[in-house]
Amino acid sequence: MSNKEYKRLLARQDSLNTGLSGAQLSNESLENRISKLRKDTADLNGKLSDLRERYADMDDKYTKLRNNSSTEISKLSTDLKKREQRLKEVEEVLRKRDEATNQLKEKLQQALLGFTKSGLTVEIKNGKVYVSLTDKLLFPSGSIIIDEKGRQALTQLAAVLKEQPEINIAVEGHTDTQKVNNLGQIKDNWDLSVLRSTSVVRFLTETGKVESVRMTATGKGEFQPLESNASADGRSRNRRIEIVLSPKLDELYDLIKQ
């Protein structure tokens, strides 16, 4: 082999060695990149898995929330329908009460028609029927004993009340502001109003045969006047017995409590 050929081969070998060294460096760099990519891929897969778990958890919570909301809406809708039905029932009870009250007023006006000129009135206030009788219609002056005309009026009244077992009856005695004088054991207007209301209750229950359990007697004295006590006419109007008739509202109270 000539010296020239030998040098050419050595140069060729050096060139190959240099190329091999470069290739090895390039290969090492690629392996490093591959290793990094694998690590990045593993990290991304871990994050993806975590995101999937979080998504699944959120989806589960959303489903539960949606179901709960649907259930709650359904419950509220049912409750609302029940309330609407109860309101209709209450309105029906009130309608029947008003109808019965008006019918009772008409019956009383017909039954007591002959006493209207003697100071008897029948009216409706706050869902109740008020029968007002002046003391001149019922009692002699300063007395608690019912006179004949008063007995006639109360007898007519009792006949209507016996036909209305669902009506509660409150008898209220009222006076003017004039002081009570020379009336024996009657000390003042409180006494007079109470004793007069009690006399009316006794007549309605004992003679008129109205059930005692439906009756209440109270005395208001001079403290709920209809007119000023400054005039004789005003005092005359204030001296009265008011019979307050109230429909029993047990059905209405039961509905309200539900």
Side chain identity at residue 51, one-letter code: L
pLDDT at 251: 53
| 151 in a structural domain | yes
Its domain, for residue 214, covers: 101-256
| 37 in a structural domain | no
Note the pLDDT tens digit of each residue in 224-238. 999 999 999 999 999
pLDDT at 228: 96
Residue 210 falls in which region: left (phi positive, over 0), alpha (psi -120 to 50) or beta: beta
Average pLDDT score over the chain:
85
For tokens 């309330």, the residue is 83
Q: What is the CATH number of the domain that holds 165?
A: 3.30.1330.60
Residue 27 has pLDDT above 90, yes or no: no
What is the pTM assigned to this prediction? 0.68
The pLDDT confidence band at residue 1, using thresholds 50, 70 and 90, is low
Q: H-type helices in the chain, by residue range?
A: 3-111, 135-138, 148-162, 189-202, 232-238, 250-257
| 30 in a structural domain | no
Give the residue, 67 or 221, on which the prediction is more confident.
221
pLDDT at 28: 72
Note the pLDDT tens digit of each residue in 70-109. 788 888 788 888 888 888 887 888 888 888 889 999 999 9
| 55 in a structural domain | no
pLDDT at 46: 77
| 227 in a structural domain | yes
| 116 in a structural domain | yes
* Number of domain units in the chain: 1
- Give Cβ neighbours of residue 100 (< 8 Å, ≥ 6 apart): 166, 247
Hey, how many other C-beta atoms are within 10 angstroms of the C-beta on 231?
Answer: 10
| 158 in a structural domain | yes
Separation of alpha carbons 40 and 34, rounded Å: 10
| 178 in a structural domain | yes
Give the residue, 43 or 170, on which the prediction is more confident.
170
